[in-house]
Structure 1
């Protein structure tokens, strides 16, 4: 096993072990080439070709996903003749550790964690990746309340073969979807159910069908039957769980729709109406093949608006400080303002007119510029010496539903947007334009949506944003 101060791949110096499990051990390490802290994951058994394939596959699949709420895999390196993963280091506790320390967690915390994890999983699904092991053990929560999903080690990606044993049930039994517990392959809807089971456990203090240390065969049978007791704490989250924990995969929302439900719960808004299942939805979610089929997932990667929800705005729920060695959870309110600037142009005073033109003047002054159909506000949510992160809130300010929107704002030459989510970016010489994406173009009356971006350069006073309808 690795030891302190050992150097991996000629650059990663091991500092201290972070955690140990059945699969192996994770160390905090110093990347001496880039002067940054990383996590290095060593595996207990990685000698067989099958194990090596699994580890390399995990690195390949995780590298396809770049998301602020998914732990990034930087590299796959070899040490002692075995491969290991070099990952983003996240000072954090797992959601399972928080549950062990405090039992059932506050609803605001659980909703916020689920909202962040759902955004990462929606992006994974949009990339054709099924996680297959969403559990409290694979959700990290930082001291600042940021949540990240980790461990794509048993993930299945469209176009990737699997290296699992025939008839094996893949995943953690207490958090499996009924179809997986019954021996079928995991699909996108299975991740939706597993996320629901994870949030249920955090809210109630135990998984939907019993504790993880129960008899695994009896537990799998209860999971396969799929009879979930309603949460003891009714509320927005309880309603969301009622939708995602449905036994029939075709009746569950997609992960992008789950994110939208949790987003509404975070903002205290009414939940979107449940869409009736359709033949298309059934074909998308149901995979009746046994798990020994090692081909790609039995449907194409999700396309269209409902699956392509990559990144949420900055966390507007109650941040949670995890106090080391204590069971107390201190909620610190972080509120994203929902008020928007009034974008209506100011009335322009007309020049003085003589008496002969009074009638004409009166007629002209009664014609005021029309109020804009939408309004937007940009604010910087995080900054560092050579860059910053910002979010833009877009609101329908008209009395009718909008089918699209377009934003324009001046962009200083010293600033350069290098990543934008929830919109389509067009860069001009001294301004930027963002048009709506397919999935967030439609805005009901008084409805709103958000987009975000990171940029290089100094954070300046947020510019005024011009919003027009029509995309």
Structure 2
């Protein structure tokens, strides 16, 4: 197609404004309604002799899927047209540029800005999921940043809505490899958690300057790395990092849903603690014991994740002369140490801290003994002090104060000389 060509008798092409794997995008004029629109000319599918038919079916399907979603942070689809066997998708025109270009020009973005953009995109994807729509290709190239700084998610061309067919062939992995979830890279069908992971990978890229699995010209090698879930340890620390690492959990069942991701990202953007409701809260002990759940040795296995738990009583009761044993005070805080993922020579550790009091908690400290040969790297969301093999992590400014029942987390990469070992027991006390 050339400039000034008229599509479907009404859309006059003005200039090319973008190109992707799915097609070429033109700025155009709707001469019937006298408005500027974006027209995406879908590239032909040359995999078979029925390519024109498949392209038209794909365009109609994309239009039906995208038109179902009406959201301020999703690109609006107006129409689908066909001319000379070529399908065109007509959308709102946004003076914008992809997040990919923004990062190429300006480099990684501040954490607050990433959280703000992430909350906007998550809100649109949460609405899509509520309507039965998967995006399946959430990447920086499909996040558009408008002139006023708002984010919009574009290109539902790879999406699959309930009740719609799919145009992918058997065994074909669909999506951009660097932003796929491990389960999709491993050959499983995508689901809502896959979009959550891809959003996390997109925001990780905006914060760190590179995708969580790095870049590799060998796409097969990259897919294998993605399938193993071996993300590069983040360099940035802070409340956003912990949220992103939750979106990037290898196990889809451990990721928050998109609505929860939106709430967490919005909290970080607003400077509030990201109280993670997806974290399982620990039950209060019924008797004075430093081994909750009655597990000898203080090590339990919960949900397939190694966890060491110990409660610390902030104000132990004074001795009394009465024959009745004193009632144990409610513990001030609780800590849960989890090995979130493991690989040869290292592991990703998450520690959850919960305010177990009925009033707000101002300051906390978690301590434990390092297993032999273990070293800590890339701590996020905490302040580290170490004396020999004894480690203490205390709060930072943003998560020092927790409301009653509130939860915060910190994490780090533990490097070891082996690939085994259990989880140490963590003690929590108020500072």
How many residue pairs get aligned? The number is 281
Aligned to 1:32: 31
Q: CA deviation at 1:277?
A: 7.3
Structure 2 matches for 1:328-407, cutoff 5 A? Answer: none
Aligned to 1:174: 178
Aligned counterpart for 1:198 among listed residues 185, 197, 202:
202
Residues of 1 paired with 2:25 and 2:275: CA distance? 40
Aligned counterpart for 2:273 among listed residues 270, 274, 281:
270
1:113 and 2:108 correspond: no
Q: CA deviation at 1:83?
A: 1.6
**2:25/2:40 contact within 8 Å kept:** yes
Q: CA deviation at 1:113?
A: 1.1
Task: Give the TM-score of the pair, scaled to structure 1.
Answer: 0.57
Residues of 2 paired with 1:172 and 1:277: CA distance? 32
Residues of 1 paired with 2:13 and 2:79: CA distance? 16
Aligned to 2:44: 45
Q: CA deviation at 1:260?
A: 0.4
Q: CA deviation at 1:21?
A: 2.9
Q: CA deviation at 1:230?
A: 3.3
Residues of 2 paired with 1:188 and 1:204: CA distance? 24
**2:39/2:88 contact within 8 Å kept:** yes
**1:250/1:277 contact within 8 Å kept:** no
Structure 2 matches for 1:113-152, cutoff 5 A? Answer: 113-152=117-156
Aligned to 2:410: none
Instruction: Look up the SS of the partner of 1:48 in the other structure.
Output: helix
In the TM superposition, what whole-angstrom CA distance separates every residue of 1:389-417 from its partner, at most 9, and x where no partner exists? Answer: xxxxxxxxxx99xxxxxxxxxxxxxxxxx
**1:115/1:263 contact within 8 Å kept:** yes
Residues of 2 paired with 1:247 and 1:116: CA distance? 24
1:100 and 2:99 correspond: no
Structure 2 matches for 1:1-80, cutoff 5 A? Answer: 2-45=1-44, 47-80=51-84
Residues of 1 paired with 2:193 and 2:21: CA distance? 27
**2:56/2:82 contact within 8 Å kept:** no
Aligned to 1:237: 240
Residues of 1 paired with 2:276 and 2:120: CA distance? 21
**1:251/1:277 contact within 8 Å kept:** no
Residues of 2 paired with 1:267 and 1:21: CA distance? 34
Residues of 2 paired with 1:233 and 1:78: CA distance? 48
Q: CA deviation at 1:203?
A: 0.7
Aligned counterpart for 2:187 among listed residues 172, 179, 183:
183
1:256 and 2:255 correspond: no
Task: Give the TM-score of the pair, scaled to structure 2.
Answer: 0.63
**2:135/2:195 contact within 8 Å kept:** yes
Q: CA deviation at 1:109?
A: 2.0
Aligned to 2:343: none
Residues of 1 paired with 2:256 and 2:19: CA distance? 35
Residues of 1 paired with 2:23 and 2:129: CA distance? 27
**2:137/2:176 contact within 8 Å kept:** yes
**2:8/2:83 contact within 8 Å kept:** yes
Q: CA deviation at 1:120?
A: 0.3
Show structure 1 runs of 5+ residues with no match: 279-398, 401-443, 448-471
Aligned counterpart for 1:163 among listed residues 161, 167, 178:
167
Aligned counterpart for 1:210 among listed residues 192, 209, 214:
214
Aligned to 1:350: none
Show structure 2 runs of 5+ residues with no match: 46-50, 282-357, 360-402, 407-431
In the TM superposition, what whole-angstrom CA distance separates every residue of 1:301-358 from its partner, at most 9, and x where no partner exists? Answer: xxxxxxxxxxxxxxxxxxxxxxxxxxxxxxxxxxxxxxxxxxxxxxxxxxxxxxxxxx
**1:93/1:140 contact within 8 Å kept:** yes
List structure 1 runs of 4+ shifted beyond 3 angstroms: none
Q: CA deviation at 1:158?
A: 1.2
Structure 2 matches for 1:429-448, cutoff 5 A? Answer: none
Instruction: Look up the SS of the partner of 2:122 in the other structure.
Output: helix
Residues of 1 paired with 2:17 and 2:87: CA distance? 19
**2:196/2:247 contact within 8 Å kept:** yes
Q: CA deviation at 1:276?
A: 4.7
Q: Larger RCO: Structure 1 or Structure 2 (Cα < 8 Å, ≥ 6 residues apart)?
A: 1
Instruction: Look up the SS of the partner of 2:157 in the other structure.
Output: coil
**2:13/2:29 contact within 8 Å kept:** yes
Mean CA deviation greater in 189-198 or 109-118:
109-118
Residues of 2 paired with 1:26 and 1:262: CA distance? 31
